[in-house]
Structure 1
């Protein structure tokens, strides 16, 4: 075996895990944790004693699971399916001899539902836990419950590619072992960004890197589409192999990307963020980073779309580290150096931003009525849990009071998101069930059946395709569809199952559609779908205002109306520029307006709904309420830091998503009145519950009394917060510094001259009186000789704007 940095720690890892049952291992990419630790714990490395049972290791992606299994098997001189096993949705290779099984994290929760005691398993390893995927967080919470309630002998190991493990250790009550890994110096070169397409800039940057350096290049791009377009733009010497790397490629293509280049060859790997930590890519000494990542984002209606964002600082640092695995390397970044400090520190855990309907359905099948009662690394937001429950009730997976239905039980047993499993379970007609199963098999896969956005064409291509992946997916679909032949129209099945995803072309446009849910999306004007007035949409990609429909089927108007009969209702729309409403009576299918009649004014109920809907969709800034809400969040966050986790973790984003819950009751009934900032703050305080609603003003108030008797407004949004501004003379007589939160949070005091200009800032008034005040007063006496600048300000009388003459009177 090749010696890896993790190997000197293997004995300590095994001994600590046996003694403590839980362990967190921090080791950077390339340390060897994924391929060496499972072998040691299963006794497959000489000198190590196996625990009595199988080692199961979870991976967040199929490609990472396959490669981890194949590397471990190769280490033993075997093929996967012997002592090293693999289980993914479309690839299962295990046997009676298997002692280490690598499994995708989504399948792990299904296995727990079938066997809550994890019979025959001694160790569960959560690899790449730093990615904080939803399935991994859910699997970890359930495994911890199994360990506490059913299997005290179960061992749980969480492995992270980052060394920021302290918070995780505290939440899991687990010891930490860290490996520094092996990292060589990496020179960072910043190229900046311009307005050209990212594909053009990346192609130019890769060409520059190829010219200026030796060795193979790893380039990070947000998605498969950008990878293909960059590959088309590159014109490199013939001795350079261009290899794409993303999840939808065949195993052969993926292996080509991660294998070392042939002798005399260089390689350029064009990869998504899959290459940040989960995979070992041979021969790389140069990284070119776009600084972008594509992540799923879910709206309050439970619809998930992919959006492109700036990658977090932790992610770009991991990407940079890829250049320094073998020796000194170089990293090219497509942004300016100063921008790095402005990146968010770490990606947001998926559980805080994702559709939680699958999680809620799994917990309902598990028998957990209160999701908040589990031991989470991050507690799922209550607003998203309620949105998930609403969706599951619409899909008839839950009863109105939240109990699991027979349909929901059947849905929970399928390894699919609830929307897709509902399509299959929702029909009893064998042919339609078989067709729904094929739709579900295709919906989560890229490339199978072609790359067209026309679902009907992709289904036809899927039936013809003979690739190993297509064959595996067809076998899976046949199992879900119970062996029947597909029958019916895909668009009709989708419309009946997902009426909120029915879309109609927006009047006056060629290829822009409005969904019944309220979202909008576009298809290419040259697409066959653009000829259809109605669509059944499967997938959207991009931000809400510029989303692209990437998979849909043409739908007839009669089938659309039959699947979702229109309703007549009154509705209103809030205009933030005018602070007023437009009202109308409409005949509509959700947000798709079929006809309308203007109304002179909305009812109070319609106005309230419109106002809350506007806040939820557009945020608080257009209404002038942003500062009040952000200030309240800052106050509560400060108290969480000083007084602990009894105070909730709030964010403006979460409050926007749950605005109807906390603000709705405060808007009252009857006629609608626009809420003022003070009313907003009162509603936020009420949402904290007793006694926190009373304590927030006492511990983190909006104003604070000065020695002069005046109350100064506290700025909670300044980077130096909490901050107050006041004239120097208003502070005379202060013997102690002004502090909040029972003295635990000193206030930043910005002192002003008589003319209102900043002259000094301090978080220690007594120290300032003894030190900096002397020089400041000397300067002020020359500039403002009529004002009072005493030698002993700590014992002087405070006042507001009085000259020495008036003080003497």
Structure 2
């Protein structure tokens, strides 16, 4: 079989001989996944060493290794082999090793020299998995510092090759693909129709209207099972197409097209299938029957399905998103990117002209490219890998967000995986070797230490799997009990047999990996699961609120509440594995009871007693207390002795944060100075004045106000002068001089008097002055270096406003004669000259006589 990429293979080999990095763009069907590794085997620069190719998905890794082995006329595990989680088929003869992403990271961490490896190939890099980005960053670090002869090839069908080539400082080659025209149409949904029913109609229409096999892209296994049940049901095939291209299938057509009667073979393809079933999907039907393949996005790339002429695309996929409620990355159903939609549609044109039906409205716009996982996942595992590597100075195509990385390191310190200095601990290295989320690794290590390893393996399998229960129980123990019943030959009515079988298989793999000979227990004491779970979620240990049995205080300081019909009601201690964060209290979605005595044994350093000083809003005073805590959970409060002066300043600052800035003794002068700064900050941003808004002052309250409370034990002991010194002192002395010059407190008027300017950050500055004091002044006074005119409140001799203006000249010219006529008789003792320009300004009445 000749692949389109064949003509490019010599150039690929020559490029790698001259340059250690390469970006290779090749559309689906070009043959890059299976032909490039084989073509590089005999290159002189490889010198007989191995090629390691990274595949993001297990299905694709097995399929690619199997295809290459068949091309060589060998079995998998000879020249070509693979390694995925819990499975390995390699030998001493293996020269090409296809691995999944976590395997590559372990290889690099265990042997940074990559002894015996001459090339690393990153296939389907456009999927931008976190482990793939990390693997590339580590490989580039190895190449730069240890292995200049290591070749790195980044391959993809739909990536921004130019940007990536510039970032890698690498040549860029592009291959033509093998493809035929694909007619794309949007298949409309009916009113209130579910996605599975719309997909069923699209499949039946495709089978009736077009030859070849049909590939249906669905978000996940749950949707595959539902659509499969619909297609096998007796009613399948009864719905007429909606596009108007064809009449409803007749009886004979229905016999030919309906999967329910066996004329069409119905197959599933997803990552949880046994290898034999996956292999069956990837081979043509031996009896020549047409096939309908219901697949997740594993069929989007790297896997070739023979005979597919029609694609039905739901436009959805399950992709990982960080879920702060569970502490893990959860698979959410999301809309695919346009690049994925194009790649899916291209699957219909691999062997002949094809058709693609999209089940979303034509008006819906998709994101151009898939977002990298590093921007949206929990980064605890990444932070631990970086700590083990010993350097943060790695080159990522998109750097990890600093906030998410800092939160991940805080969690790792709580799990004792990192020390306070940020370095990886011995426990952290053991967690890393387990190859799972650090939370679960910490639990496994704790269980291995005290002989509960088999139960911990069950718990890891339950937490990593989809929920086996159909009911909304919040008891984690109900999941484990369903697993125990399944092993005893019983399946609870509200549980799924397939889900329990998958959990049982995963637990068995964990026991094998940890070399545990003990069988899983048939029963577990009430608090045992929670006691284990506490080592994975020490921040989610929760104690029942003394005044409300449905509310719990978490170790991280937050509050959570139970469902109304919770199975956990009445438990004094819980450990939550899954939460839903809400504005007030989080909702406990899944948890297990814990035993306080076991917590005191397992977490002795987290229980402590301290003397604390706090603000009592009811008494408006500081109180001293002896407080017993488990992290952020208050266990007991007893009256203490005298208020500790060292703690008083911090407590008074906290009181102001709670009561607000209005609780402070503001003088009019200080309030106006603050408004002057806020106005000037807006008028003249180049001065870079500090932000004195309420939000900003409260955020840095400890810095500017804390020193003023030193030695005080009452809030009302702070006087206005001390507050003024504290706030003004937070602004540099040279800036304070500029403030006084550019936004003065007072301004001289022609009468010789100094009159106060009123400032407000959300209004114009106001100068209120008797109009006789402005005789002879033509133009409105300005401040802020002449940028801002004052708003003049021109007052009568009695101090009442006669005119508000920012145009003094216009007032004298147009309004003064009318004001003079009206006011002259009312205030005869004050001057009202016909010519205000030449009159002497005064703040007094005319002298008698």
- When normalised by structure 2's length, the TM-score is 0.61
- The answer on 1:259 being equivalent to 2:259 is no
Give the counterpart of 1:419 among 439, 442, 460. 439
What residue number does 1:233 align with? 230
Asked whether the equivalents of residues 91 and 472 of structure 1 are also in contact (C-alpha less than 8 Å), the reply is no
What residue number does 1:78 align with? 74
CA distance in 1 between partners of 2:228 and 2:388 (Å): 45
Structure 1 residues 152 and 214, CA gap change in structure 2 (3 angstroms): same
Q: Secondary structure at the match of 2:267?
A: strand
What residue number does 1:126 align with? 122
- The answer on 1:167 being equivalent to 2:126 is no
CA distance in 2 between partners of 1:609 and 1:166 (Å): 54
Asked whether the equivalents of residues 209 and 286 of structure 1 are also in contact (C-alpha less than 8 Å), the reply is yes
The superposition leaves residues 591-638 of structure 1 with CA deviations (integer Å, 9 ceiling, x where unpaired) of 999999xxxxx9975997999xxxxxxxxxxxxxxxxxxxxxxxxxxx
CA distance in 1 between partners of 2:271 and 2:469 (Å): 16
Structure 1 residues 666 and 227, CA gap change in structure 2 (3 angstroms): farther
What residue number does 2:338 align with? 313
What residue number does 2:173 align with? 177
Offset, 1:481: 5.7
CA distance in 2 between partners of 1:593 and 1:203 (Å): 56
Q: Please, which moves more after superposition, 434-443 or 116-125?
A: 434-443
Give the counterpart of 1:156 among 152, 159, 167. 152
CA distance in 2 between partners of 1:38 and 1:281 (Å): 21
CA distance in 2 between partners of 1:438 and 1:483 (Å): 14
CA distance in 2 between partners of 1:179 and 1:51 (Å): 26
- The answer on 1:495 being equivalent to 2:534 is yes
What residue number does 2:89 align with? 93
Structure 1 residues 279 and 666, CA gap change in structure 2 (3 angstroms): farther
What residue number does 2:794 align with? none
Structure 1 residues 232 and 468, CA gap change in structure 2 (3 angstroms): closer
Structure 1 residues 150 and 528, CA gap change in structure 2 (3 angstroms): same
Q: Please, which moves more after superposition, 433-442 or 417-426?
A: 433-442
What residue number does 1:247 align with? 271
Offset, 1:195: 4.5
Q: Secondary structure at the match of 2:228?
A: helix
Structure 1 residues 504 and 314, CA gap change in structure 2 (3 angstroms): farther
The superposition leaves residues 324-381 of structure 1 with CA deviations (integer Å, 9 ceiling, x where unpaired) of 11111111112221213xx21111101111111111111111111xx2x211111111
- The answer on 1:456 being equivalent to 2:480 is yes
Offset, 1:214: 2.5
Structure 1 residues 178 and 504, CA gap change in structure 2 (3 angstroms): farther
Structure 1 residues 255 and 3, CA gap change in structure 2 (3 angstroms): same
CA distance in 2 between partners of 1:510 and 1:213 (Å): 62
CA distance in 2 between partners of 1:129 and 1:199 (Å): 31
Asked whether the equivalents of residues 85 and 103 of structure 2 are also in contact (C-alpha less than 8 Å), the reply is yes
Unmatched segments (≥5 aa) in structure 1: 573-585, 597-601, 612-659, 672-809
Instruction: Give the number of aligned pairs.
Output: 594
Q: Secondary structure at the match of 2:93?
A: coil
Offset, 1:535: 6.4
CA distance in 1 between partners of 2:533 and 2:291 (Å): 43
Asked whether the equivalents of residues 27 and 163 of structure 1 are also in contact (C-alpha less than 8 Å), the reply is no
Asked whether the equivalents of residues 449 and 463 of structure 1 are also in contact (C-alpha less than 8 Å), the reply is no
Give the counterpart of 1:109 among 105, 111, 114. 105
Offset, 1:202: 2.4
Asked whether the equivalents of residues 218 and 284 of structure 1 are also in contact (C-alpha less than 8 Å), the reply is yes
Offset, 1:172: 0.6
- The answer on 1:215 being equivalent to 2:242 is no
- The answer on 1:327 being equivalent to 2:352 is yes
The superposition leaves residues 461-486 of structure 1 with CA deviations (integer Å, 9 ceiling, x where unpaired) of 78679989966862542432654555
Structure 1 residues 483 and 254, CA gap change in structure 2 (3 angstroms): same
Structure 1 residues 144 and 595, CA gap change in structure 2 (3 angstroms): same
What residue number does 2:5 align with? 6
CA distance in 2 between partners of 1:521 and 1:93 (Å): 48
Q: Which has the larger radius of gyration?
A: 2
Asked whether the equivalents of residues 492 and 559 of structure 1 are also in contact (C-alpha less than 8 Å), the reply is no
Offset, 1:192: 3.9
Unmatched segments (≥5 aa) in structure 2: 237-257, 490-499, 616-626, 638-650, 661-694, 707-849
Q: Secondary structure at the match of 1:474?
A: helix
Asked whether the equivalents of residues 59 and 126 of structure 1 are also in contact (C-alpha less than 8 Å), the reply is yes
Asked whether the equivalents of residues 426 and 497 of structure 1 are also in contact (C-alpha less than 8 Å), the reply is no
CA distance in 1 between partners of 2:340 and 2:584 (Å): 27
What residue number does 2:593 align with? 555
The superposition leaves residues 741-784 of structure 1 with CA deviations (integer Å, 9 ceiling, x where unpaired) of xxxxxxxxxxxxxxxxxxxxxxxxxxxxxxxxxxxxxxxxxxxx
CA distance in 1 between partners of 2:184 and 2:585 (Å): 33
CA distance in 2 between partners of 1:297 and 1:17 (Å): 36
Q: Secondary structure at the match of 2:484?
A: helix
What residue number does 1:136 align with? 132
Offset, 1:545: 12
The superposition leaves residues 488-541 of structure 1 with CA deviations (integer Å, 9 ceiling, x where unpaired) of 63332013431344579999x99999987769899998x988999986554689
| Cα RMSD after superposing both structures | 4.6
Q: Please, which moves more after superposition, 530-539 or 357-366?
A: 530-539
- The answer on 1:393 being equivalent to 2:413 is yes
CA distance in 2 between partners of 1:315 and 1:411 (Å): 35
CA distance in 1 between partners of 2:18 and 2:305 (Å): 35
Q: Secondary structure at the match of 1:86?
A: strand
Asked whether the equivalents of residues 56 and 100 of structure 1 are also in contact (C-alpha less than 8 Å), the reply is yes
Q: Secondary structure at the match of 1:52?
A: coil
Offset, 1:441: 4.7
Instruction: Please list, as runs of the form range in 1=range in 2, the aligned pairs for 1:615-694 lying within 5 A after superposition.
Output: none
Asked whether the equivalents of residues 523 and 549 of structure 1 are also in contact (C-alpha less than 8 Å), the reply is yes
Instruction: Please list, as runs of the form range in 1=range in 2, the aligned pairs for 1:696-735 lying within 5 A after superposition.
Output: none
CA distance in 1 between partners of 2:9 and 2:598 (Å): 60
Offset, 1:125: 0.7
Structure 1 residues 561 and 96, CA gap change in structure 2 (3 angstroms): closer
CA distance in 2 between partners of 1:61 and 1:438 (Å): 24
Offset, 1:19: 1.4
